[in-house]
Chain A
Amino acid sequence: MAGRTSSSRGMSKTDRATVRKAKVLSGASMKRGARVKAGARDRGLTLLPKAKLLEIMDLMVKSRVLEERLIKVYKTGDAFFWIGGPGEEAFGVSLGMHVDKGHGPAHDFLHLHYRCTPTLIAMGMPMIDSLRLIMNRATDPSTGGRNFANHYCFPKWNVVPVSSPIEVQYGMAVGTGLAQRRRRLAGEKSGVSIITGGDAGTAEGDFASCLIWSSRPGAELPMYITVQNNKWGISTSFDAQHGEKHIADRGKAFGIRTSVVNGNDPVEAYLAIEQDLAYIRKTGRPVLTEFMVSRLYGHSSASGANREAGEDCVETFEKRLVDARMIPATHVKELWQKYDDESRAAAEQVRSEPVPTPESVWEHVYVGSENGDWRKF
């Protein structure tokens, strides 16, 4: 797994030192099944307070349990389709913990792809709202039963609608970035436009648009451009389609600060995101960071949604914490059980919740449900 590498443009000495430290310590991240010898010190775990490590662990387990519940809901016939992000918890949770939550350009905008449950869980989304989405209930706060699993929308947190076309979010984030830059120049509080997306989607022109528009000389935008590289685009491997060593390298041509991060290590991901966002908030310039992650249940239910090989970041982190005696193994089991119970109860509740009515199809074609039906013009 690649360690964090970075160009040094615009970085303070402190930034550079921290990045070097994280890079060195990234060797402590665990492959699946690896164990730390009893008594040996996992130096990666010294980089964050214990309470923070346990919080990350808690959120990662919660997100994984939820995703596995979504898959079960699909497999028992209570949903038409599943797509999601098991395997991206270390990155996704870390990202969600750093978001400046709120509505409007003063806060961060989130232009997410459809593997973003870990980020939303870390931001405080109740499990039940994800179940309402996959089970297309009228109570679904994101779409009212109109869209797929993991296609979230939460205006109160600037989570703009997740859409199925890949990579379009990279271009749209330019617009929120422009709005935030305007406020920044006016001396007002402004957030960062954060984008997540997969490696395969970077073949789309929208990714190039994002790099170009975010780095126009003298008009750089406060954008956090991230790529979650799980090495797959449905059934097509990254290695068969990409000649570039790292996707992040493409940002260098635009003078964008770039790095490649082990997205399976929550400590490394957490620190990288913290530093990246601090840089963007300070300079107003974009950052492109590639997080290497796993895809543990395939592309979606279209490919079976069955467990596949790959480093499991939740399992790995759990073992690190147990081996470092930061959390008893029994507590870990209780954690899984707690969230399993919560997700099961939530699914049960959602089954009895109302579904959208046929008449509601004409709602929200236009603002205020102004008539959009030509038969009534």
Chain B
Amino acid sequence: MANMAQAIRMALHYGEKNLGVTDVFGEDVGAPLGGVFTATQGLETAWNSPLDERGIISAAIGLGLAGDRCVAEIQFADYIFNTIDLLKIAGNTLWASNGQYNVPIVVMTPVGAGIRGSIYHSHSFDAWATRLPGWKVVLPSTPLDAYGLMISAIQDPNPVLFLKPKALMRVRGDELIPGEPADEKELKAMIDAPIGDRSKWKPRWPELSEFAIPIGKGKLVREGTDITVVSYGRTMPLCVKAAEKMGAQGVSVELIDLRSLYPYDWTMIRESVQKTGRVLFVNEDTEVTNFGEHLAYRVTQELFYELMARPKVLAGKNLPGIGLHPHLEEASVPHLEDIEHAMAEVLAEVP
């Protein structure tokens, strides 16, 4: 089974071979490194850019205006903040031109904590991203979803932010990507660059097929009747574990992997909350003006009289950064016990 870095790499390869991707670029994206998480190793269209985030986003917009298809990378989301106005422009160009110029670009960037990345390799970007009208925003939690969402992002005529949960980049999935060999060692031998001299190395790509996950569609990870938990990205596997532990105690948890943050699958959330009457939103971005707050607001507005408990948002503390020491990181972002406690609180509430 592929890990997420391999899955993204294979999707980009499929994109450059079949979907017209002309450029995959950013800092250390091309040879020899192929990306700091190896997600762009061996790609024919990958190239290294100057270490200039504004230049990367600007160039991507220009490529999109020219009708070419690119996937640009900001090496860590922590370094995307000086491009905010350019992201605004990419998102408003179609609207400002009254429908005349679209910007069909994909920008991918690793997000979140979990790798002891300290203050500038741990930022989340989902709340910021969902405040960029005109963009679509995805954040997968499994390799297969990463593959399918990247295919959809490339095909989409609008700008798409592909947020990569960096702590999950090395985690293998339990679903095969269509065309990948089942043996992970075989896959590694085919598409992972060797250690050392790579100057003569070329990948042997598997015969991949198109597998697109529609943007805007969530995934019902686990069916349940007592409480709905909605998450995405790095906190998703934690929610799965929490649901399993709660399940052992007789609690039936319905678990939704949102996958797409904008547009999002309201139908799936609504139907689930109407069934359970209780909902917890979990993510690791800072808690004030958090995206989960928008979802909780909507649940409150539209499903108020069907609720058995107040909707709850569990998110990162509203701190200036993620500290390096594990004590600091764990006190800053949700971990397994926090999720269990939050679920217990929602379940304990009596209407």
Report B42-67 CB contacts with A as 1/0, cut-off 8 Å: 00000001101011011111111111
- Stretch of B12-20, B73-81, B262-270 contacting A (4+ beta carbons < 8 Å): B262-270
Cα(A186)–Cα(B76), bound, Å: 34
- Stretch of B97-105, B162-170, B228-236 contacting A (4+ beta carbons < 8 Å): B97-105
Count residues of A near B (Cβ-Cβ below 8 Å).
48
Q: Is B27 an interface residue (CB 8 A)?
A: no
Assess A367 versus B60: contact at CB under 8 Å? Given A160-B65, A168-B86, A377-B263. Answer: no
Report A144-177 CB contacts with B as 1/0, cut-off 8 Å: 1011000101010000110101001011111111
B62 touching A146, Cβ below 8 Å: no
Assess A104 versus B66: contact at CB under 8 Å? Given A146-B96, A365-B95. Answer: yes
Chain A: CB-nearest residue to B158: A366
A172 touching B97, Cβ below 8 Å: no
Q: Is B35 an interface residue (CB 8 A)?
A: no
Cα(A18)–Cα(B67), bound, Å: 37
A205 touching B54, Cβ below 8 Å: yes
Residues of B within 8 A of A372 (CB): 133-134, 263
Q: Is B257 an interface residue (CB 8 A)?
A: no
Residues of B within 8 A of A335 (CB): none
Chain A: CB-nearest residue to B94: A364
Q: Is A216 an interface residue (CB 8 A)?
A: yes
Q: Is A209 an interface residue (CB 8 A)?
A: yes
Cα(A212)–Cα(B53), bound, Å: 13
Task: How many A-B residue pairs have C-beta atoms within 8 angstroms? Tell me.
Answer: 151
Q: Chain A nearest CB: distance from B28 CB in Å?
A: 16
A175 touching B54, Cβ below 8 Å: no
Residues of A within 8 A of B22 (CB): 179, 182
Q: Which of A332-377 contact B (CB under 8 A)?
A: 363-372, 374, 377
Q: Is A178 an interface residue (CB 8 A)?
A: yes
A176 touching B63, Cβ below 8 Å: yes
Q: Is A105 an interface residue (CB 8 A)?
A: yes
B62 touching A174, Cβ below 8 Å: yes
Chain B: CB-nearest residue to A174: B59
9 of the cross-chain contacts (CB-CB < 8 Å) are A109-B62, A109-B66, A146-B95, A146-B96, A163-B89, A175-B62, A175-B63, A212-B52, A365-B94
Beyond A175-B60, A213-B52, 11 extra complex contacts between A and B, CB < 8 Å = A105-B67, A143-B97, A146-B96, A168-B86, A171-B59, A175-B65, A178-B23, A178-B66, A209-B54, A365-B133, A370-B158
B-binding residues in A (CB < 8 A): 104-105, 109, 140, 142-144, 146-147, 151, 153, 155, 160-161, 163, 165, 168, 170-180, 182, 193, 205-206, 209, 212-213, 216, 363-372, 374, 377
